[in-house]
Amino acid sequence: MRLVMKFGGVSVADGKGFRKVGTIVHKYHERGDQIAVVTSAMHSVTNSLIDAASQAGRGRKDHVRRYVDDLTERHRKACEDAIENREILDKIQHVVTSTCDDLRNILLGIAHIGELTPRSRDYVIGFGERLAAPVLQGVFEDMGMKAKALTGGEAGIVTDDNFGAAQPLMNMTTLQVRQNLGPIMEDGTIPIVSGFIAQTQESIQTTIGRGGSDYTASIIGASIRSDEVLVWKDVDGLMTANPKIVKNAKMIDSISFPEAMELAHFGAEIIHPKALECAAKYQLPFRVKSLADPDRPGSTIVSEVKVKDGDVVKAITNIDDVDLITVCGASMVGTPRLPAKVLQILTDEDIDVLMISQSSSEESITLAIPKESGSRAQNALELSLLGSKQVREVNIETALSIVAVVGAGMKGTPGVAARVFATMAKENINIRAIAQGSSELNISCIIKKKDAAKAVNALHDDFELGV
């Protein structure tokens, strides 16, 4: 089989983690699989780089020096803990040190000028992945496998120059990745690709946005036409509900891409939606695997899942802590283009809208916004809209949750919404707003946060999802 294996920051948090990754990969390697590995940065490193970049932008050279020393030490230590062979250890530590020297010079350069451009920021925040890949290479070599660390750009991923969230040119990318990785994989070498980073056609480093390493895994998988992408996580797989809330939550064996995207949207993000979208397009199956228990089959995400009879709902998810903002129109005659205006204002402020509903009289628009941006959203809307004669007031209601019922079987099954409402009513839970995706893959309700756990459990029971 041809496989892509993706390891997140938690799996490579320290030397022990790197070694464990080696053990897992080794097993598949022995079995005769051709493997390409995609790695994230060591846990929390990317965030620290983001911080270091902005510190540098403010001219703090001392901070930069201290930071890079720590980072170097952390990676050297991980090497020591994970690699036994002295020669390999020296070689990899040398790579780590010189990569960190490179980073120090760049950060000091930024600090010297006191300006952080999007381009130099992308260069800096990709160092975590660039450091993790060689460490894995060392571990694999230490265990007797042939391996080669590559940046996303070296692997062949080419993007536009929209720094921070660059878009791959997929046709050119698949061609180049196939040409670059194909031969070395045939030869039994394991390419280890730094996730999250890529480069423009002029070879300038870019990053591909949040959830980047999952996305890299999708891109690599699509390019080399892998049979499956295995995403290794510190969970057992995809669950019918958050096990912290629902004691008898069960693992889901198999789910479709659209369902997984709904789950991700409504708070159960195991794999980034961008990665899923790419995988769906190239019909590339994903499998979520457990780091703690590698022999479990895990959950698969595939193009098409047969809906079993009576298997209407797959999972219940919830997003805690949302605010509900209501924009009340000034007149009853309707306010053309108000919804578009409202969304534009929020987009300009970079605020996520989780759910939107509009009364049919067009008199008001209700939006669910993550709590952390709630009051910012209210402010922005008030500043732009009040006094425009279109809008009377902008209200905010806090301490709410979204509970969503997700499943492809809902499509064409009448009465699911009624069942949801009946359950809520039985539990005496008041629904503040509802929305159903036109795909009929989800029904989502906004309720008081204090009722969320009760609602999720009741729905989970009612749809008989538990063990």
Taking the complex as a whole, how short is the minimal distance between the CB of residue 219 and another protein, in angstroms? 14
How many other CB atoms are found less than 10 A from the CB of residue 49?
23
Tell me the window of 13-21, 172-180, 334-342, 374-382 that interacts with another protein (CB under 8 A).
Answer: 172-180
Look at the alpha carbons of 344, 345, 347, 352 in this order and tell me if their dihedral is positive or negative: negative
Residues 199-238 binding another protein (CB under 8 A) are: 201-202
Taking the complex as a whole, how short is the minimal distance between the CB of residue 152 and another protein, in angstroms? 17
* Total H helices, total E strands in the chain: 15, 17
Taking the complex as a whole, how short is the minimal distance between the CB of residue 119 and another protein, in angstroms? 17
Look at the alpha carbons of 72, 78, 84, 88 in this order and tell me if their dihedral is positive or negative: negative
Can residue 171 be called a binding residue for another protein (CB under 8 A)? yes
Tell me the window of 99-107, 164-172, 251-259, 307-315 that interacts with another protein (CB under 8 A).
Answer: 164-172
Can residue 169 be called a binding residue for another protein (CB under 8 A)? yes
Of 50, 170, 330, 396, the one binding another protein by CB under 8 A: 170
For another protein, the closer of residues 202 and 295 by Cβ is 202
Residues 1-60 binding another protein (CB under 8 A) are: none
Query: For tokens 């080696």, what's the residue?
Result: 22
Of 13, 143, 165, 172, the one binding another protein by CB under 8 A: 172
For another protein, the closer of residues 183 and 188 by Cβ is 183
Taking the complex as a whole, how short is the minimal distance between the CB of residue 244 and another protein, in angstroms? 44
Site string for another protein, 111-150 (x = CB under 8 A): ----------------------------------------
Query: For tokens 């193009």, what's the residue?
Result: 303
How many other CB atoms are found less than 10 A from the CB of residue 186?
9
| DSSP characters over 88-147 | HHHHHHHHHHHHHHHHHHHHHHHHHHT---HHHHHHHHTHHHHHHHHHHHHHHHHTT-EE
Do 182 and 128 meet the contact criterion of CB atoms below 8 Å apart?
no
Residue 447 to residue 310: CA distance in whole angstroms: 27
Tell me the window of 163-171, 345-353, 396-404, 439-447 that interacts with another protein (CB under 8 A).
Answer: 163-171
Do 207 and 126 meet the contact criterion of CB atoms below 8 Å apart?
yes
Of 23, 44, 105, 179, the one binding another protein by CB under 8 A: 179
Taking the complex as a whole, how short is the minimal distance between the CB of residue 175 and another protein, in angstroms? 4
Residue 156 to residue 174: CA distance in whole angstroms: 8
Taking the complex as a whole, how short is the minimal distance between the CB of residue 173 and another protein, in angstroms? 8
Can residue 165 be called a binding residue for another protein (CB under 8 A)? no
Q: How far is CA 407 from the centre of its chain?
A: 21
Strands 2-7, 228-233: pairing is: parallel
Taking the complex as a whole, how short is the minimal distance between the CB of residue 313 and another protein, in angstroms? 37
Residue type, 113: I
Do 44 and 75 meet the contact criterion of CB atoms below 8 Å apart?
no
Can residue 438 be called a binding residue for another protein (CB under 8 A)? no
Can residue 160 be called a binding residue for another protein (CB under 8 A)? yes
Of 175, 204, 328, 431, the one binding another protein by CB under 8 A: 175
Checking phi first, is residue 211 left (phi over 0); if not, alpha (psi -120 to 50) or beta? left
Q: Give the binding site for another protein (CB under 8 A).
A: 160, 169-172, 174-176, 179, 201-202
